[in-house]
Amino acid sequence: MGQLDADAQWGRLTVDDLAIDWTAADRERLEVMAGLRDRRFSETALAEYGVGSTGSPAQQSGSRG
């Protein structure tokens, strides 16, 4: 079982030194991707058509200073 940090915040993922804000839009994108994968769309096919190319939370966090 994982550990819970005493400084944990709702809507924020923290990995090592990286803090990533997680929004409702991110959750919706994840649900769409999971639905497509459930329908047997491969990662390659999704990438080929640009699905999910709006940026992951990790990519978006680079613009936050």
> Over the stretch 1-13, which tens digit does the pLDDT of each residue have?
566 667 778 888 8
pLDDT at 13: 82
Query: What is the domain count for the chain?
Result: 1
Residue spans of alpha helices (H) in 1-65: 24-38, 43-48, 57-61
CB 55 within 8 A of CB 20: no
Q: Let me know if residue 49 belongs to a domain.
A: yes
CB 21 within 8 A of CB 12: yes
Three-state DSSP at 13 gives: strand
Q: Let me know if residue 13 belongs to a domain.
A: no
How many residues can be counted in the chain?
A: 65
Q: What is the pLDDT of residues 44-65, one digit of tens each?
A: 888 887 776 655 444 444 444 3
Q: Let me know if residue 17 belongs to a domain.
A: no
Greatest Cα pair distance, the chain, in angstroms, is 41
Q: Let me know if residue 34 belongs to a domain.
A: yes
Q: Let me know if residue 45 belongs to a domain.
A: yes
Q: Which residues form the domain of 54? A: 23-61
Q: What is the pLDDT of residues 6-49, one digit of tens each?
A: 777 888 888 888 888 888 898 898 898 899 999 999 988 888 87
pLDDT at 65: 38
